[in-house]
A and B are shown apart, each in its own frame.
Chain A
Amino acid sequence: MSNKDDKTEAEEIDCIEAINGLYQYLDGEMDDAETKQRFEHHLAHCKTCYTRTEMEKLLTQRARDAGNKKASQALRERLQRVLD
């Protein structure tokens, strides 16, 4: 356990690196497990970056909800007629 902690401490990232990876993390594009672990370790120890990440999550969800438009029935029927 302590060895793992020591390793994480040694690879700690700073705020600039965290912000650089912020959107990649939020967009589910941070594929490398080690990079993700370092990022999350930083969030667990940095209130500012944690707050920013949470804020970005909220804004993203709000944008997604607002952009979630419904196609009208008339449009759906129009699209199906294209196939005729």
Chain B
Amino acid sequence: MADEETKSWFSERIDEYADPLYGYSFQLTRNRTDAEDLVADAVSKAWSGVESLKDRRKFRSWIFRILHNCYVSNYRKKSVRPVEVSQNVAFDEITDDLTNFLTEQSDEFLAWWGTPEREFANKVLGEDILEAIEGLPDEFKGAVVLVTVEGLSYNEAAEVLEISSGTVHSRMKRGRMLLQKALWIHATEAGLITETPPKEMHNEQ
């Protein structure tokens, strides 16, 4: 049974992190009711195991990890979308190569990638970006949401997802590029990209 000091400390932390926990939960579930239930489940589990948190400075990654694990165990199954599972264990080792990744992409995307339009960023809405993140395969979505949206460091995200910091790094890189492609497709379909960019991928200087 936790003492009063622990209870008071935990109460303050929950109050402090209620918004980001709900934000991450909503990004995972995309449903207000599920998001609130998920946060409540995670906080309940965290409180039950508060004595296991040896270093209070790691509260943020600890509570996010509990929430993430609750989602994986109980909520992801409810998703109507198929959960994409990494096709190979060695994914990070064999595909962490920008050149290889880019050569798999369409010519149009490559051309745009080399000459990003300034107006593009001004026209894409935050909700468009969140929707594109939602469409990412799960292994990338977790890292991208934790770092890009919630502002966690790579080390913190690694602790949440229980993977190495290097894996977070590579997932971030590829996840953000997949995100760019999704946004590019969205922008093209919405008519936000109107001019055909030159074919050169990297017209430096």
Contact = CB atoms under 8 A, between A and B. Distances in A.
Interface in B147-196: 147-151, 153-154, 169, 172-173, 176, 183
B87 interface: no
A16 B122 contact: no
Interface residues of A, number: 42
Interface of B: 7, 10-11, 14-15, 18-19, 21-23, 26-27, 36, 39-40, 43-44, 47, 98-99, 114-116, 118, 120-122, 124-127, 129-130, 133, 145, 147-151, 153-154, 169, 172-173, 176, 183, 202-205
Contacts, number: 121
A60 interface: yes
Given A59-B124, A63-B126, A64-B149, A23 B23 contact: no
A70 to B, nearest CB: 6
Interface of A: 14-16, 19-20, 23-24, 27-29, 45-49, 51-52, 54-56, 58-60, 62-72, 74-76, 78-80, 82-83
A27 B147 contact: yes
B40 A45 contact: no
A51 B176 contact: no
B129 A63 contact: yes
B204 A67 contact: no
Contacts of B153: 27-29
B26 A16 contact: no
Contact of B133 (A14, A24, A63, A80): A63
